[in-house]
């Protein structure tokens, strides 16, 4: 307890999955949490977990595809708490979005330029840049900050068909590395998490494949998907002062998926 005592943490995608559990964990660890996403009711469910355990936070409903949202989120955080110590840049869309928006998770030959822009120019990549762009000046002014970007194992390996998503996740990694070396002397660390299969609504269309033990061990050496809490724990470490010399790192949390050359 208290690993983020009195720090102010902005968490995007806090209405669901990894972001929701990150908000809950950070709140338990003493952070004042500022959760943002579009779904206000679901944001409030996660905030309720924080406040009912004695923690503190606010929610800011916002669509990160709207250019005015990042500044509005930052202004709300500053209004409430006066500073921002941590940004967990986590909001994103994937498989479920691809079903709802055909072509966006498709291969190059099946995707339109509009499909590509929906991912690269949408929440999956541009949304990361715009949140950093809004938060960073405050961190530089304060001379401290920790930014944790959520990439994916699909940022370090290819993913069949989902070329725009894979390109976005790879770009997030190198955005993090160049930020890390640029801003560390001004007190701002940047690190990246690469989750494997995590049991959240994003991969609801495919996570059922783990029910078959043979398929499960082909998908992941540990034979199971990760839980969002297991990614929140990684974010907690990177965000905290325990990671004071961790900068520009890529923390892979994937049950060993990317550690092997072929299924055993
Ligand atoms: P999730 O449960 O579907 O959550 C995604 C979050 O992003 C939701 O809170 C959603 O909130 C928010 N979001 C989506 N579009 C948004 C928009 N336009 N504006 C603001 N917020 C938006 O998915 P998750 O698995 O927790 O994913 C979190 C991150 O982990 C993503 O970046 C994802 O790529 C990454 N990741 C996930 C996995 C996995 O297997 N689950 C693996 C590797 C990486 P609203 O709908 O309320 O806006």
65 lies in some domain: yes
Residue 23's domain is classified under what CATH number?
Answer: 3.40.50.720
**Domain that residue 82 falls in:** 8-256
Q: Which residues are catalytic?
A: 165
54 lies in some domain: yes
pLDDT above 90 coverage of the chain, percent: 97
Which atom belonging to ligand 1 lies closest to the Cα atom of 231? 30
Pocket perturbation via mutation, ligand 1, pick of 16, 99, 105, 123 by most ligand atoms within 8 A of CB:
16
Measuring from atom 10 of ligand 1, which residue has the nearest CA?
13
Name the CA radius of gyration of the chain, rounded.
18
Give the 3-state secondary structure of residue 196: coil
On whether the pTM is more than 0.95, the answer is: yes
Dist. CA 57–CA 90, nearest whole Å: 18
pLDDT above 70 coverage of the chain, percent: 100
Domain count across the chain: 1
Taking only the tens place, the pLDDT of each residue in 68-107 is 999 999 999 999 999 999 999 999 999 999 999 999 999 9
233 lies in some domain: yes
Helical spans, DSSP H, in 35-187: 40-52, 69-81, 95-100, 113-120, 126-142, 163-183
173 lies in some domain: yes
Cα-to-centroid distance, 32 and ligand 1 (Å): 21
53 lies in some domain: yes
Cα-to-centroid distance, 18 and ligand 1 (Å): 7
pLDDT confidence of residue 262: 86
264 lies in some domain: no
pLDDT at 254 over 80: yes
229 lies in some domain: yes
196 lies in some domain: yes
Are the C-beta atoms of residues 87 and 147 closer than 8 Å to each other?
Answer: yes
Q: 231: part of which helix (H) or strand (E)? A: helix 228-239
């Amino acid at each position: 307890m208290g690993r983020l005592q009195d720090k102010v943490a902005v968490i995007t995608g806090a209405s669901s999955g990894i972001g929701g559990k990150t908000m809950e964990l950070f709140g338990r660890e003493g952070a004042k949490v500022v959760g943002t996403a579009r779904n206000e009711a679901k944001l409030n469910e996660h905030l309720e977990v924080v406040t009912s355990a004695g923690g503190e936070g606010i929610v800011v409903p916002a669509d990160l595809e709207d250019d005015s949202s990042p500044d509005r989120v930052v202004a709300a955080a500053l209004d409430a708490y006066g500073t921002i110590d941590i940004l967990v840049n986590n909001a994103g869309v994937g498989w479920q979005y691809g079903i709802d928006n055909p072509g966006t998770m498709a291969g190059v030959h099946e995707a339109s330029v509009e499909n590509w822009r929906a991912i690269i120019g949408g929440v999956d990549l541009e949304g990361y840049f715009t949140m950093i762009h809004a938060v960073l000046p405050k961190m530089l002014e304060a001379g401290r900050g920790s930014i944790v970007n959520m990439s994916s194992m699909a940022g370090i390996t290819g993913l069949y068909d989902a070329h725009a998503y894979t390109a976005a996740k790879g770009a997030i990694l190198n955005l993090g590395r160049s930020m890390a070396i640029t801003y560390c002397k001004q007190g701002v660390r940047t690190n990246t998490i690469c989750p494997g299969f995590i049991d959240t609504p994003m991969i609801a269309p495919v996570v059922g494949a783990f029910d078959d033990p043979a398929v499960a061990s082909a998908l992941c050496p540990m034979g199971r998907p990760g839980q969002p809490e297991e990614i929140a724990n990684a974010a907690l470490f990177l965000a905290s002062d325990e990671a004071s010399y961790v900068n520009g790192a890529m923390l892979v949390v994937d049950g060993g998926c990317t550690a092997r050359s072929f299924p055993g």
